[in-house]
Amino acid sequence: MLERMTFCEECRRDVAYTEIEVAMQNELKRETFEYTGKQAVCTECGSEVYVAEVEDYNLKALYDAYRKKNSIIALEKILEIPEKYGIGKRPLSLLLGWGEMTFSRYCDGDMPSKQYSHILKHIYDDPAFYRSILENNKDNLKSPTTYEKSKRITDALLGTVNTPLTKIEQVIDYLLCKCEDITPLALQKALYYIQGFYFAFIEEYVLEDDCEAWAHGPVYPKVYHKYSSYRFDPIEGGETCDDSVLSNYEKAVIDSVIKNLCCYSGKILEGFTHAEDPWLKTRGDLPVTAASSRIIHKKLIGDYFKTVKEHFAMINPADIEIYSKKMFERLN
């Protein structure tokens, strides 16, 4: 075990130190508080030494004493709320009608007012109360996925039976959590490539849904209508996701698509799909900008990506990098 070291003003060098509990008294917001803190002591001369972590501990102990006396919610409970209800810090602030960074500041140690503390305590203690806020204020949230995820987790706490997520919803949930700044256009192309490359390696279709050959490439219509309000803006995703619903190989393919394809913009990925057989053959002789609801059949997607895998001698999902680089070079 490594000794903890710090600089001792008396010994004039770095020394080992020990920590002891001591009774402390300090003032905060014109009130005096007594509490148990810590003191760092040099093991050689016995004098008090400065240790940043000990000072932080004592400051937190002072604030905890203030919270307890004034019935302010404990910091530990504040930090548990987002995980308990499956919602990010910023979305929670928006849901409550607070400033976007308000809850984040409380997580960093800022003291909530008694009014806000009462609300947070009620939320922490009563999932039904939080559920009513979520339902009444869901329009404050930027992402329908944020609402649905938090609703699902809260309903589970309340013992309410939820309809299981479909596979495409599970994949989208994971994508929005792991992939930064993904627009509706890029999301559509990511789903298409996940479908294709998963089949190439496993010879099974990961998604039951069919995509259509729209003017801007392959599109899953239900997904389009769900996120169309974002237009060209990134879709807001959750800070955490339940990846236990996906197999290790599903995650391996999705992670590789995120790394090697989602690094490109939606427009570039659209260009990729416009050069690939599934979209080209389904569109046929339609003008480039013509609207169409023609289904790109799964077999067409599977056959194409299986050929891609064989052509580039792909061994595992990490090799998707080879294809993405070749397509980018071809496009440019």
- pTM score > 0.95 for this model? no
User: How far is it, in rounded angstroms, from Cα 107 to Cα 124?
Assistant: 14
The pLDDT, as a whole number, for residue 239 is 66
User: How far is it, in rounded angstroms, from Cα 116 to Cα 28?
Assistant: 20
Q: What is the mean pLDDT of the chain?
A: 93
What's the mean pLDDT in 12-25? 95
The pLDDT, as a whole number, for residue 238 is 66
The pLDDT, as a whole number, for residue 2 is 61
What's the mean pLDDT in 244-257? 95
The pLDDT, as a whole number, for residue 236 is 78
Tokens of 108: 């960093």
pLDDT band at 199 (very low <50, low <70, confident <90, very high): very high
291 and 215 Cβ atoms separated by less than 8 Å:
yes
The pLDDT, as a whole number, for residue 163 is 76
Read off the pLDDT of residues 127-147 as tens digits, 9 standing for 90 and up.
999 999 999 999 998 777 788
**Domains and their CATH numbers in the chain:** 5-69 (3.10.20), 75-157 (no CATH), 167-331 (no CATH)
Locus of tokens 């259509």: 212
Burial of 23 (0-12, 13-18, 19+ CB in 10 A): exposed
Element (H, E) at 14: strand 13-28
Helices (H) and strands (E) in the chain — how many of each?
Answer: 15, 6
Answer yes or no: is pLDDT of 1 > 70. Answer: no
155 and 132 Cβ atoms separated by less than 8 Å:
no
pLDDT band at 242 (very low <50, low <70, confident <90, very high): confident
What's the mean pLDDT in 251-270? 96
Read off the pLDDT of residues 93-121 as tens digits, 9 standing for 90 and up.
999 999 999 999 999 988 899 999 999 99
Coil vs helix vs strand at 33: strand
What's the mean pLDDT in 305-332? 95
How many CB atoms neighbour CB 254 within 10 A? 27
Locus of tokens 């404990």: 74
